[in-house]
Amino acid sequence: MILFGVVLAVIVGRLRGGSPAGLANHGIKGLALVWVALALRLAIDLLAKWDIELAWLQFPAYILFFCVLGLNLAQPGIKTFTCGTALNFLAIAANGGAMPVSAGAIELAGLAGSPAGTHVLLSENTKLWFLTDVIPLRLPFLPLGQVISIGDILITCGIFIFIQHKMLSGEKNPPGEETAC
């Protein structure tokens, strides 16, 4: 869903007369930490394929995400993104480091298989179930469905707002200001 949101934001930005060149001056501080956090999340999923469960690695990944978000709260859309990230983190923390996913939502989204790595099946013991991946998403023009959370929706909205602002503002960063790590 997040990738779809990014693509949609760029298309809408172009239709509104914006330029993708505005994204080059994104002004995001601490971007290198995001790549480390994403690498941790990828490692969790890859290791799960070999039956090595290290879902607890999501905690340091989220700490890195929150550090970057804290550095960038003044950016448009980042507060919305942060709210979504916080809701996902609450669900993950309450459920032992993995995001529960509804089996019914998996089926409604047209997916098969069991979650692994950063995800587990939702059960009667799931805490904060309403913040977990319980929303099936099956768009006719996308090859695969997804199961998303309220947090995912807020994250995507935050990214959309950010991209719209950057594409349409045309503003440059002040001289000497870093644009990324």
Contacts of 174 (CB under 8 A, 6+ apart): none
| Predicted pLDDT at 140 | 74
Give the range among 10-24, 90-104, 158-172 with minimum mean pLDDT.
158-172
Closest CA to 179 of 18, 36, 9, 30: 30
Residue 57: band (very low, low, confident or very high) from pLDDT cuts 50, 70, 90: confident
3-state DSSP call for residue 29?
A: coil
- Say what the pLDDT of residue 78 is: 96
Verdict on whether the full-model pTM lies above 0.75? yes
pLDDT on residue 172: 44
* 119 touches 101 (CB < 8 A): yes
Tokens of 12: 């809408």
Q: Single out the residue of 34, 36, 46, 65 nearest to residue 117, CA to CA.
A: 46
Distance, in Å, from the CA atom of 149 to the CA atom of 23, rounded to the nearest integer, reads 27
